[in-house]
A and B are shown apart, each in its own frame.
Chain A
């Protein structure tokens, strides 16, 4: 029998880092260096993590392909499987198969401005885009608009604060909106009064001007966020073809067989795992149920 696409490759957990009380960052490396060498991915793609004997779950890659030699996954503890992996320690082994999905069309967007709009856990896949864009230096200017619940929930907080301070030197402007007030947030707001505010992610669009003919927007966040962010972008006359969003569904197999991620109606059926998870707003307009 030829290669079985459902069999995962061994990867060792190099580091486990607490990002928030609910999310941990796992840094992994394939044990077989050949597999690691061949594993190439694009920002926006996902992998399936296999905890042998317990099950599998899909998760976005949050490291950038520009930083080779390891993979990073930001995992929120929400269910049985993620609870299990949260108990795992450095040195332990999990299976990884993938990468799956189409990813963001990074090459097509070269030379343009990027607006990354992240809500909550949506920061994870967009972090891959963020570092890819900064590292490659092939993009005009990068905005990161990040909406979070509270100071404790800011994912990759050190990196975000670093970019708030020094981002402009890397062509990157970070803006942050939080919902729950706390002394730390007020302190941040004092330091960066023009870029940190209390509110929701759409509030961060206020006062921002961008050249709609040379800009792409990339969105990831909870389902409720898409409608509002897209309205904000359309109001500024950004073409639906320049709005990319990455979606979540229950991807079991990752290769378009198991049927759980099917969306759409009789005129347009899409598998989120292989036709997506990145779609343009045009796709959303022609495929019901996408957002």
Chain B
């Protein structure tokens, strides 16, 4: 890894230089929530944000996405391949994108996802956990790759980790904005990371989690929470790794139609429905449990399907807490 320093006074110049690479999206505060929006000036962004409502997946797997257009009876690709910059992505969300990569880039790769991924410049930013974060338990609190540049806050600027060839190129082109890292900067970086590590209030016991959950298939805790759950699917929408989608065709006029993909949720009754009306997950209990199994699936090469971002907790109208459910399920085994 290459480490360089961006001083506070150069920050705005650096931000402005990114606009030459494409549209820049950053975290913006709207009311009480944050979201990634197109930004023109650095001060529009709230870089000390806790989490955006929709994770950066919305740029790659879109809530509504026209994938094909029917013209003269044939499908044509409806793809937009403009480059763009995602500014200020947290480490957990970078890990979330890596999990999506595993699914969408595996052969046959999803062409829409791949083009958007290739066109995206990802600039990470350090953060302080709030009461919902448990990324440290899952090892997603620090990103080693999956970004082009990663900015770590220092008292007088940013320590920048360069994570890709494109990151190197950006730093190279704007050499004048960056300084060498001093011993003092490194000490500050370490101090920040230590302070951050101590700030986590929530912890997930992941020891043997996958096996433990499998054993607890019939635990009464599932039913307890399924009864509280409103089955609204909010947790799916805001999750950085949930990616189920539904497809539907729409006529625009008598001659033209589009095929549209949109987010689907495993809490919807139609999710496990097959032709003829048989449903493989007929009850809310089945669907509730399925989500937890899907999120806690442990892939030996990629880890869990959850990155501990805390969105499902923050945006759950029934105030169901992910870690608490898993802890209770574990408790019910003893």
Contact = CB atoms under 8 A, between A and B. Distances in A.
A2 interface: yes
Given A79-B275, A288-B217, A52 B249 contact: yes
Contacts of A93: 73
B264 interface: yes
B243 A257 contact: yes
Contact of B245 (A79, A258, A263): A258
B272 A250 contact: yes
Contacts of A8: 75
B42 interface: no
Given A52-B70, A266-B209, A259 B274 contact: no
Contacts of B79: 1
A170 B298 CA distance: 48
Contacts of B271: 250, 260
A252 B246 CA distance: 7
Interface residues of A, number: 43
Interface in B69-122: 70, 73-75, 77, 79, 81, 103-104, 106, 108, 110-111, 115
Interface range for B: 35 or more
A7 B75 contact: yes
Given A6-B68, A55-B249, A264 B293 contact: yes
Contact of A1 (B111, B211, B296): B111
A139 to B, nearest CB: 31
Interface in B193-215: 209-211, 213-214
Interface in A240-274: 248-250, 252-253, 255-260, 262-269
A91 interface: no
B248 interface: yes
A284 to B, nearest CB: 14
B244 A260 contact: yes
Interface string B234-265: 00000000011111110100000101000010
Contact of A53 (B67, B257, B290): B257
A191 interface: no
A112 interface: no
- Chain B interface SS verdict (over half): mixed
Contacts of B231: none
B214 A266 contact: yes
A266 B298 contact: yes
B30 interface: no
Nearest to B67: A6
Contacts of B333: none
A52 B76 CA distance: 11
Given A55-B249, A259-B245, A267 B75 contact: no
A269 B108 contact: no
Most buried by B among A3, A7, A53: A53
Interface in A267-289: 267-269, 288-289
B77 A1 contact: yes
A4 B257 contact: no
Contacts of A95: 75
Contact of A267 (B103, B214, B249, B273): B214
B294 interface: yes
A207 interface: no
A53 B249 contact: yes
B151 interface: no
A262 to B, nearest CB: 6
Contacts of B211: 266-267
Nearest to A252: B247
A1 B244 contact: no
Nearest to A255: B108
Contacts of B106: 256
B297 interface: yes
Interface of A: 1-8, 52-57, 76, 78-79, 82, 93, 95, 222-223, 248-250, 252-253, 255-260, 262-269, 288-289
Given A5-B110, A95-B75, A288-B217, 4 more contacts: A54-B249, A250-B272, A252-B245, A260-B271
20 contacts: A1-B77, A1-B79, A1-B111, A4-B68, A79-B275, A95-B75, A248-B274, A249-B274, A252-B247, A256-B103, A257-B103, A257-B104, A258-B246, A259-B244, A260-B244, A266-B211, A267-B210, A267-B214, A267-B297, A269-B293
The 7 A-B pairs of least Cβ separation, nearest first, read A259-B244, A53-B257, A266-B210, A5-B108, A266-B296, A266-B213, A265-B293
